[in-house]
Amino acid sequence: QVQLVESGGGLVQPGGSLRLSCAASRSIRSFKNMGWYRQAPGKQRELVASIISDSSTNCADSVKGRFTISRDNAKNTVYLQMNSLKPEDTAVYYCNAVAWVFNTRYWGQGTQVTVSS
């Protein structure tokens, strides 16, 4: 069973920065893509950013220019650098991985990000 462990969430003021980390229990090369999703209270979970096996990335329009997804294969870790944070970025952020085999999806437990003054 794959485990994804997120860390790095917390409380930050508007305009601040946070870096989320997602550590996988096996080589992230075994996944066809990995991504970060978020879910705010009363809203559906949405894709924030994703990175595929060749390191191509994709970001939601709402975070383009502010958030950056990256990966460190040696550490089996995916990062989400979040800059210029806004109150509307407040949500629980989840790491996601999709395996090559059967497109099996794995989720982390989530980490809370709160942007407030």
Report mean pLDDT in 10-residue bins for the chain, 117 residues.
Answer: 95 98 94 96 96 88 97 96 98 96 94 97
Give the pLDDT of residue 109. Answer: 97
Give the pLDDT of residue 76. Answer: 96
Tokens 């989320």 found at: 20
Pairing of strands 18-24, 77-82: antiparallel
Give the pLDDT of residue 1. Answer: 85
Report how far residue 62's alpha carbon sits from residue 105's, in angstroms, rounded to the nearest whole number. Answer: 24
Give the pLDDT of residue 101. Answer: 87
Give the pLDDT of residue 43. Answer: 96
Report DSSP letters for 59-95, one per residue. E-GGGTTTEEEEEEGGGTEEEEEE-S--GGG-EEEEE
Give the pLDDT of residue 55. Answer: 77
